[in-house]
Structure 1
Amino acid sequence: MSSKEKPTLGGTRIKTRKRNIAAPLDPAAFADAVVQIYVDNAGDLELVAKSIESSDLNFSRYGDTFFEVVFTGGRTQPGTIKPDEGDRHTYSVLDCEPKREAILPSVLYIQKILRRRPFLIKNLENVMRRFLQSLELFEQNERKKLAIFTALTFSQKLSGLPPETVFQSLLKDNLVAKGLVLSFITEFFREYLVDNSLDDLISLLKKGKVEDNLLDIFPSAKRTIEAFSEHFTKEGLVALVQYNEKKVFDVKLKEMKSALMTLISEETEISEVIETVKQRTKDANLPEIEVVRLLWDTIMDAVQWSGKNQQQNANSALRQVKTWAELLNTFCTNGKLELELMYKVQVQCYEDAKLMKLFPEIVRSLYDQDVLAEDTILLWFSKGANPKGRSEKS
C-alpha cells in the first residue's frame, strides 16, 4: 500500500449550482385574490389600496392581470377583452357610471398603487393599449368610460404613462373607419379640457405625435378641414377649431413662402412668379393682407447679404426691392394694403441692424416703382399707428 494516501472529502458538503426553477404561472389564482380584496373591502378603494400594499401578491409577474381586474372586475381571456373563468367584482372602471366623479377615484387609486410599485406602469400601458385597440368590442357606454378614464389619467398626471401609448394605439384603420376613434377622442378632449387649458392639450398631442395629423382621427370620407371644424364646433370645442384653422393657415403660408423662395432664388420670370402667387392665393384662400406680408418677408429673406459691409447690404436690399417691385405692385391693390406694406418695411428696418437706416430709401424706391402712392405715404406720416421706427420718417 502506498504511503501517500489520497485526499478525502469527508465531512465536506459539496456545493451544487442552484437551478432557476420558475414557479408555475397562475394568473387565475392571482386574479381571484385581488378580486377577494375588493370584495372584502366592499369596493372602498382607500381600503383596497392599503390591502394591496400589505399583500404578498406577485405583482411583478401578474401586473397585466392586476389591471384587467381593475378595469373589468376580473381576468380576461388572453389577447381579448372577454371575461375569463374565475371570480369577479362589481367595483371596476367599466362597472361605474360614465361620469368623471365616478371614475376619478379609480384613477387616484391606480396613482397610489403606482407610487408604491412604479414598475407596474408598463403593465398599465399593455392593458390600455390592448383595450384601446379593441374599442369595437366594447359597448358605447364602456368606450365613454374608457375615454373619461384616459383623460383623467393625463389630467392627474398619472406617473409615467406615455401619451404616445394612447394616441398611437387608437389609429387603427378599422377603428377610424367606423368612427369609434373620433367618438373616443371627442369625449377625451371634452373631459381633458375641464381641468386643463388648450395649450396643455396641444402639448399632450405633440408628445403623443398626433398634433400634426389630427385629421387622421376622421373616417377617410370626412377627412377635411371643413368636417373637422363642423364636428368640433358642434361638440362645443370652438377653441380647438380655431387652433386647428390657424395651424392649417400657417402651414399654407409656409408652403407658399417656400415655393416663392425657390422661384426667386432661381430668378424665375416675374410674370411666372406673379401667376404662381395668384394661383396659390386662390387655392389656399389666403387673405390679401397676409399675402402682402409674406411677399415682403420672402423678398427680403432672399437678399444676398454681405456680412458687415453696410453699404453693400444697403445696395443689395434696394436692388432686390427694385427687381421685385412689380410683384409687390400686383398685390398692393389698395391704400390699406400699401399701408400694411409700409408697416412691414418700417418694423423690419427698425428690428434689423442691416436695414436700420434704410427705411427712407426703401420707401422712396417703392414710390418710384409705383408700389406706394403718395397719399399712402402721407397718411402713414401723419397717422401711422405703429410706433416702431417712427423716427425714421421719409
Structure 2
Amino acid sequence: MDGDTPKTSMCIFAANEDMDTMRNFEQVFVKLMRRYKYLEKMFEEEMKKVLVYLKGFEPLQRIKLARMTALWIGNGCVPPAVLLVLVNEHLLKDNLALEFVLEVFTTVKQERGVASLIAALRRGQLEGRLLEFLPLNRRSEEALAASFGARGLAELLRLHRAQASQEARRDLTAALQDDLADDKPVRDLIQDLRDMAHKHAIPDHEVIAIIWQCVMSRSEWNKKEELLAEQAAKHLRQYTPLLEAFAQSAKAELALLTKVQEYCYENMNFMRAFSKLVVMLYKTNVLSEEVILKWYREPNSTKGKMMFLDQMKKFVEWLQSAEEESESGEDDD
C-alpha cells in the first residue's frame, strides 16, 4: 500500500491539468483514505513535506498540485492550515507561495463556491494571514489587492480587511487600557489614539466608542443609585478632553450618545444616571445641542429609549426653547 501512493502522485503529474481529470484522482484518494484509515493522519504531514519542496516542481506540475490540494481541502482530506508551510523564505521570494495559494483559492471557489472558500479560510485561521504569502519586499495591502483582485478573489480581500480591522480595534483598545492604567496625560492619549486610528483607518465614531468602553471600565461603581450618578459624572469629567477630541462630527457625537444610552440600559444601576451624564457631556462641550435633539427626535438604539426620553424631556424642552429664542433673535436682526 505504501508503494501505491508515490505511484499515484506520479500519475497526477503525468496527467492533464483539467478539472475532470483532477476530480478522478480526487476520488482515488478519497477511496484510499476510507479503506486505509491510518492514511488520514499521515496525509497531512506528507502534504507538508511535498509543499515545502514546491520549488522542485515544474510550473505545470505546481498548477496540478494546487488544484489537487484545493480538492483535498474542499473534501476535508487536508486541513486548510497546511498552506502555512508555504510561508518560507525560499518559496516567498520567487512568488511561488503566492501563485500556489491563488491557484488553490481560485479552484476551491470554482469547485465549491465562495461560501465554502471563506469557511475553509476561517477553519484554517488564514483570513488574517493572507499578507504572509507575499514576498517580503512586496508585502503591502496594495500588492495583496492587485494579486487577489486579478484572480477574482475580491471576497477574500473583504474578509482579510474585516479581520485586520477587527484586530486593529483590539490592539487600539488594549493600548488605551494600558495607557489609562499608567495614568498617561490626556494630551498624550489623544496623540497616541490619533496615530493608531490613522494607521489602521479607524474612524472617529468607532474610536470614541472604544474610549467610552475603556474609561467606564476603570472605576469601581458605588452600589447606591443616588450616589452613582454623581460619581460617574465626576469620573467622566476628567476624560472629557479625550472624548471631545474625537467628537468632532455629528456621527461621532451620536455614536457616543448611543453608547451612553446602551451602557446605562445594560448596567441597571445607571438607569437613572443617563440624563445627568448627557447634561454633563453637553456642558463640557463633548455633545452638542443639535446632536442631542437629533437623538431625541429620531429613532436609533431602542435600549431603554422610552425611559431615557422621559428623563431628558425637561432638558430637551429647555434646549428647544433656547433654539427658538436664538432663531427669533436672528429674524429680528
Instruction: Please give the TM-score of this superposition, normalised by the length of structure 1.
Output: 0.72
Structure 2 partner of 1:67: 5
Contact preservation (8 Å) 2:260, 2:274: yes
Closer/same/farther in 2, CA of residues 129 and 331 from structure 1, 3 Å limit: closer
The question of 1:137 aligning with 2:56 is answered yes
Structure 2 partner of 1:94: 13
Q: How far apart are 1:296 and its partner, in Å?
A: 1.7
Distance in 1, matches of 2:147 and 2:232, equals: 47
Q: How far apart are 1:198 and its partner, in Å?
A: 5.2
The question of 1:372 aligning with 2:287 is answered yes
Q: 2:106 aligns with which of 176, 190, 193?
A: 190
Closer/same/farther in 2, CA of residues 385 and 212 from structure 1, 3 Å limit: closer
Contact preservation (8 Å) 2:13, 2:64: yes
Structure 2 partner of 1:346: 261
Residues 27-42 of structure 1 aligned to structure 2 (within 5 Å) = none
Structure 2 partner of 1:298: 214
Instruction: State the SS of the aligned residue for 1:154.
Output: helix
Residues 1-394 of structure 1 aligned to structure 2 (within 5 Å) = 59=1, 63=2, 65-72=3-10, 92-158=11-77, 161-164=78-81, 166-196=82-112, 200-205=116-121, 207-208=123-124, 210-305=126-221, 309-311=224-226, 313-391=228-306, 392-393=308-309, 394=312
Closer/same/farther in 2, CA of residues 362 and 111 from structure 1, 3 Å limit: same
Distance in 2, matches of 1:313 and 1:150, equals: 60
Instruction: State the SS of the aligned residue for 2:300.
Output: coil
Instruction: State the SS of the aligned residue for 2:287.
Output: coil
What is the one-letter code of the residue matched to 2:299? G
Q: Which deviations, in whole Å up to 9, do the C-alpha atoms of 1:255-300 show, x marking residues without a partner? A: 1211111222222222222222222223333222222222222222
Distance in 2, matches of 1:332 and 1:199, equals: 38
Distance in 1, matches of 2:256 and 2:19, equals: 52
Contact preservation (8 Å) 2:225, 2:269: yes
Q: How far apart are 1:99 and its partner, in Å?
A: 2.5
Q: Name whichever of 361-370 and 168-177 sits farther off.
A: 168-177
Contact preservation (8 Å) 2:240, 2:286: yes
RMSD between superposed Cα atoms in Å: 2.3
Distance in 1, matches of 2:249 and 2:45, equals: 61
Distance in 1, matches of 2:238 and 2:115, equals: 42
Q: Which deviations, in whole Å up to 9, do the C-alpha atoms of 1:328-347 show, x marking residues without a partner? A: 11111133321222122222
Distance in 1, matches of 2:242 and 2:71, equals: 53
What is the one-letter code of the residue matched to 1:363? V
Instruction: State the SS of the aligned residue for 1:267.
Output: coil
Q: Which deviations, in whole Å up to 9, do the C-alpha atoms of 1:321-362 show, x marking residues without a partner? A: 212111111111133321222122222222333433322121
Contact preservation (8 Å) 1:205, 1:211: yes
Gaps of 5+ in 2: 313-333
Structure having greater relative contact order (Cα 8 Å, sep ≥ 6): 2
Contact preservation (8 Å) 2:205, 2:253: no
Which is higher, the Rg of structure 1 or of structure 2? 1
Distance in 2, matches of 1:353 and 1:110, equals: 59
Instruction: State the SS of the aligned residue for 1:236.
Output: coil
Distance in 1, matches of 2:156 and 2:229, equals: 44
Closer/same/farther in 2, CA of residues 237 and 119 from structure 1, 3 Å limit: same
Distance in 2, matches of 1:372 and 1:171, equals: 49
Gaps of 5+ in 1: 1-58, 73-91
What is the one-letter code of the residue matched to 1:141? L
Q: Which deviations, in whole Å up to 9, do the C-alpha atoms of 1:52-72 show, x marking residues without a partner? A: xxxxxxx2xxx2x32111110
Distance in 2, matches of 1:196 and 1:299, equals: 46
Contact preservation (8 Å) 1:349, 1:356: yes
Contact preservation (8 Å) 2:108, 2:116: no
Identity of aligned residues (%): 26
Q: Name whichever of 276-285 and 212-221 sits farther off.
A: 276-285
Instruction: Please give the TM-score of this superposition, normalised by the length of structure 2.
Output: 0.84
